Amino acid sequence: MMAKTSTRNLTAFFVIAYSISWVIWLPLVLEAFGTITGPVTPYLHLLGGLGPLIAALIVTYFLEGKENFRDLVASTVRWRTHWIWYIVSIVAMFVFFFISIIIMYAINGTFPDISQLGQSERYSTLLPPL
């Protein structure tokens, strides 16, 4: 019986995740094909990326029960590892950033312009964290 329940839950997750994401992304697709001409916020793209998260919460709540839902939500804030691994993960971001700069220098012969970090045409109002 467990395999049947797991298959049902997995199928429900994918159907709901894709449905949520594509319903949110639909105005962007229609704008890209010229079907609609009104202003469409590009932030729908970011919001649509939350479809899998929302689907996981829905499937857990309705198919696994309220107790499993509470466990899922509680596990997102539970600290289960030693604090040193949080430090390692933060330091690793900077290490990989500098490694990518070195690789770009090796390929292009110049250092990248980091003043452009985080800027794009599509999301021009998002500011870089620096």
Burial 13-51 (b: 16+ CB within 10 A, else e): beebbeebbeebbebbeebeeeeeeeebeeebeeebeeb
| 65 neighbors 52 (Cβ within 8 angstroms) | no
| pLDDT confidence of residue 106 | 95
Q: What is the pLDDT of residues 68-108, one digit of tens each?
A: 999 989 988 887 788 899 899 999 999 999 999 999 999 99
pTM (2 decimals)? 0.65
| 23 neighbors 46 (Cβ within 8 angstroms) | no
| 91 neighbors 99 (Cβ within 8 angstroms) | no
Q: Does 29 share its domain with 68?
A: yes
Q: Does 65 share its domain with 100?
A: no
pLDDT, averaged across the chain: 86
| pLDDT confidence of residue 130 | 45
| pLDDT confidence of residue 125 | 63
The continuous run of DSSP H or E covering 8 comes out as: helix 2-32
Query: Residue 17: which pLDDT band, with cuts at 50, 70 and 90?
Result: very high
96 is in which domain, residue-wise? 83-114
| pLDDT confidence of residue 37 | 82
State mean pLDDT over 37-42. Answer: 81
| pLDDT confidence of residue 1 | 47
Q: Does 30 share its domain with 68?
A: yes
Q: Does 33 share its domain with 63?
A: yes
Burial 63-95 (b: 16+ CB within 10 A, else e): eeeeeebeeeeeeeeeeeeeeeeeeeeeeeeee
Nearest to 55 by CA among 94, 7, 17: 17
